[in-house]
Chains A and B, each alone.
Chain A
Amino acid sequence: MINIQSLKFSYRPNRPLFEDLSLHLEAGHIYGLLGKNGAGKSTLLKQIAGLLFPDGGTCEVMGHKTAKRQPSFLREIFLVPEEFFLPKISIRSYVAANAPFYPRFDEQAFYSYLKEFAIPQDQQLTNMSYGQKKKVIISFALATNTKVLIMDEPTNGLDIPSKSQFRKVMAAAVTDDKCMVISTHQVRDLDNLIDSIVIIDDHKIIFHQDVGTVTDKLSFKLLAQLDDRLPILYADSSLRGHSVILKNENMEQSKIDMELLFNAILSNRQPIQELFN
């Protein structure tokens, strides 16, 4: 569905952001795009949305070259940016002006998402808080029923109950023909939501695995004491004890700790990558 081949991109000459970056994303998944600040998560999403053009390589969504920004492509993709613009109009006027561009827009679903997020339907968009506006745009994005939905830091500005509501509506909205990509640096917000992890660092994709494969090969545990005999790949100590990632030699089932995995891959990449090769 999203096919990026040997992507090269830089904002300034001789300072490449992406070098030979390749990525293939399929329908039916919610991908979590993770990376450090400045790794290029937002830039990659902009490439997918056609807001930036590759310096080399190709970026295609459903066979469309994204840089062309053709209506047949744009009506199948919706981007929820981190910072967004909403005009000084009511929610109903916003829907009336924007919905006709999306052939599968579901107005009933839109208002049900708003209800889920507890957003009053008769309010002017400009009279809303940042978090409320974000919920409106997320609701609109989901109601468009586009095949590709990309979200840049969608949980920024959402309060704690809203983050859980966000996970709920997202999980309900994913279908076999949709591909959702969520970029964030708040990895805990995506717990139990994403089913595939993509980590971007050092100008390229350094990790791309589905959650099932990760939990098959790695085991996440909280230990009271570290034991040298255990196949520990990464450990992070806190007051609660030692959060560790181990080789899953006994095929135990454990709950993935996204933050721990992210830190482990960035600091101890090679042994973990070898496990997946």
Chain B
Amino acid sequence: MQPNNVLDFRRLGYYFQYHMLASWKPYLLGAFSIFGLLMLIPAFMLLTDNAPRHLSEVVGVYYFGLFFGGLLFTSMAFNDLSNKEKGSQFLMLPASHFEKFFTIFLVTTVGYLLVYHIASYSALLLLNRASIVRHQAGLLMDWEFLDLQDGHIYIYFAYIFLHAVFLLGAVSFVRLAFIKTLVAILLCIGGFYLVNTLFVWILFGRNTPTPFQNVPFILVGTFGGKFKTDVFIISERMIDSYVFIAKYVLAPVLWTVAYFRLKDKEI
């Protein structure tokens, strides 16, 4: 019988087992490292006079761990491809590119977020306990930073977008994927800004005040006009389109590109 060459759930299960068997030790070590690092900074604060009283005071550590840890982990997802022997083994194993990609995608998204939140919540409970012991009062649990209103949800959209960027970087760059992806992001931002500046010059001449008085492709401030300055902003509909693209289109597009980059990999 001809097998399904794209997705076979039994084969996906085998591949997931295979991946976990080969990687559970580094993953476990990584989970303990996350937990340790999340404990380290608040514990240091607790031992000094700067003990946190509110949950919101340690939330920065949570976000830092989420982004730095998650993106570093994602950028290492295809490290095997940088090694000829491991890369051959990875590509020759009889599972489809989609099954291999999807397994790594799941591990770096659902897997990481699950482990990270278990580790950070455990660290928080321990920190709270330590705070009760030392200051006879626990942390004030102000969970507002997780409130989906107030724009906090955009932090998670940003994380998803950056995950897609770093996953693409992990497939594309053979070595030092994290650093190379960071450099590529900076170059893209620079290029984006240059293109925007070119458009602004074409449309408004050189009447723009400083480079930082415009939001690329959204808003431009110029000299002149009744009040010496005019502000031009794109229509609300276009802003909504930008937001829609940023929230729902960019990350899936980048994941798809990463998948096709994996298909094109040679050793």
Contacts and interface: CB of A to CB of B under 8 A. Distances in A.
Interface in B144-162: none
A72 B5 contact: yes
A51 B11 contact: no
Contact of A69 (B2, B11, B83, B97): B97
Nearest to A83: B85
Given A52-B266, A87-B22, A89-B21, A72 B86 contact: no
Given A97-B21, A100-B14, A49 B92 contact: yes
B15 to A, nearest CB: 8
Interface in B2-29: 2-5, 8, 11, 14, 17-18, 21-22, 25
Contacts of A83: 84-85
Contacts of A51: 88, 91-92, 266-267
A101 B94 contact: yes
A170 to B, nearest CB: 20
Interface in A18-54: 46, 49-53
B93 interface: yes
B256 interface: no
A71 B5 contact: yes
A71 B8 contact: yes
B58 to A, nearest CB: 37
Given A51-B266, A87-B22, A101 B85 contact: no
Contacts of B11: 71, 101
Nearest to B86: A85
Nearest to B15: A101
Contacts of A85: 83, 85-86, 88-89
A74 interface: yes
Contacts of B267: 46, 51-52
Contacts of B8: 71
Nearest to A47: B266
8 contacts: A52-B266, A71-B96, A74-B92, A75-B3, A79-B92, A88-B25, A96-B21, A98-B93
Instruction: Identify the 6 closest CB pairs spanning chains A and B, nearest first.
Output: A74-B94, A85-B85, A75-B94, A70-B5, A101-B94, A51-B267
Interface of A: 46, 49-53, 69-72, 74-75, 77-79, 81, 83-85, 87-89, 93, 96-98, 100-102
